[in-house]
C-alpha cells in the first residue's frame, strides 16, 4: 500500500474570514514505513491527520490511498473504505463503558454485520498481543489508562488496516506507561507491516519512527 499527498491545503470559514490551516503539503509513504508529524499546538497536525484519515475533505490538492481517491466515493462507500483500510488511535481511548474489552475491540467489525468466529478469534489474539487476554471480559472502568489505550490499539487493528493513524497516543499517560504503549505500537507495526503515522509532542516517540515532518512557517510541513 502507498499513501500519497500532493499539494494539500485546508482552509476553514470562520464568519466572513478564512483561516488557512494547511498549505501545499506533499509526501508519500509505503507499507512498512512509519512517520512522525510534529510541531507546536495549533499548527495543523491533527487537521492533517484527519484529512489523511478521510474524516475531513481537503480544500486543495489530492490524497491517494492504495492508488484510490477516497474522496471520489459516495459517503457509504467512503465509510466502508475507511473502516476496512484505516485504523485510528486517539489521545482519548473512546471505549464504550457499557461493553466489555472484547466487545470494544470488535466494534469496527460491526459495519459488516455480526462478528464472525474468525474476527472474534483475531480480537482475542490481539488482546493477547497487547497483554490483556486476562482482562477480556472486564469493562473500561475497571482498567488503568494505559490498559484502556492498549485496548484502543487492539480495536484499531481488528480489521487489519493497511494504514494506522495515531493522534497523541501517549499524551495522557505517564512516562513509563507512555514508553510501554510506544513499544507496543511499534512492535505491532513491525509485525503487521502497515503504514504508521503518529502525531506527537513527544520527542522520544518521534525519534523512534523512521521519518518525521514538522510544521513550518506558512502552514506547510517539511
Cα(first)–Cα(last) distance of the chain, in Å?
22
Interatomic CA distance for residues 169 and 162, integer angstroms: 18
Task: Name 1's Cβ contacts closer than 8 Å, sequence gap at least 6.
Answer: 30, 31, 65, 66, 162, 163, 194, 195
In sequence order, what DSSP letters do the residues of 109-137 get, joined into one string? GGGGSSPPHHHHHHHHHHHHHTT-GGGTT
- The closest alpha carbon to 216, from 43, 1, 52, 3, belongs to 43
In the predicted structure, residue 82 carries a pLDDT above the cut 80:
yes
Above pLDDT 90, what percent of the chain? Answer: 81
Handedness of CA 77, 78, 80, 84 (dihedral sign): positive
Average pLDDT over residues 136-146: 94
Average pLDDT over residues 146-161: 94
In the predicted structure, residue 112 carries a pLDDT above the cut 80:
no
Q: For the chain, what is the mean pLDDT?
A: 93
pTM, whole model, 2 decimals? Answer: 0.93
- Model pLDDT for residues 165-192, shown as the tens digit of each residue: 999 998 888 889 889 989 999 999 999 9
* Per-residue exposure over 52-91, b if at least 16 CB sit within 10 Å of its own CB, e if not: bbbeeebbebebebeeeebeeeeeeeeeebbbebbbbbbb
Full set of structural domains in the chain with CATH:
2-213 (3.40.50.300)
Q: Which three cell numbers stand for residue 110?
A: 460491526
Amino acid at each position: 500500500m502507498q499513501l500519497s499527498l500532493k499539494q494539500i491545503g485546508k482552509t476553514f470559514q470562520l464568519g466572513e474570514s478564512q483561516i488557512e490551516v494547511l498549505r501545499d503539503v506533499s509526501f508519500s509513504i509505503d507499507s512498512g514505513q512509519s512517520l512522525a508529524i510534529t510541531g507546536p499546538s495549533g499548527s495543523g497536525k491533527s487537521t492533517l491527520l484527519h484529512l489523511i484519515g478521510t474524516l475531513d475533505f481537503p480544500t486543495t490538492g489530492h490524497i491517494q490511498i492504495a492508488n484510490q481517491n477516497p474522496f471520489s466515493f459516495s459517503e457509504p462507500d467512503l465509510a466502508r473504505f475507511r473502516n476496512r483500510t484505516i485504523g485510528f488511535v486517539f489521545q482519548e481511548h473512546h471505549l464504550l463503558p457499557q461493553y466489555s474489552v472484547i466487545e470494544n475491540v470488535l466494534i469496527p467489525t460491526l459495519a459488516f454485520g455480526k462478528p464472525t468466529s474468525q474476527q472474534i478469534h483475531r480480537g482475542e489474539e490481539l488482546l493477547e498481543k497487547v497483554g490483556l487476554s486476562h482482562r477480556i471480559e472486564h469493562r473500561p472502568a475497571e482498567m488503568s489508562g494505559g490498559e484502556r489505550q492498549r485496548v484502543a490499539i487492539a480495536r484499531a487493528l481488528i480489521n487489519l488496516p493497511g494504514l494506522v493513524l495515531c493522534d497523541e497516543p501517549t499524551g495522557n499517560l505517564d512516562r513509563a506507561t507512555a514508553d510501554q504503549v510506544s513499544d507496543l505500537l511499534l512492535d505491532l507495526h513491525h509485525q503487521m507491516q502497515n503504514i504508521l503515522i503518529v502525531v506527537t509532542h513527544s520527542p522520544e516517540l518521534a525519534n523512534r519512527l523512521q521519518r518525521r515532518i514538522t510544521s513550518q512557517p506558512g502552514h506547510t510541513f517539511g
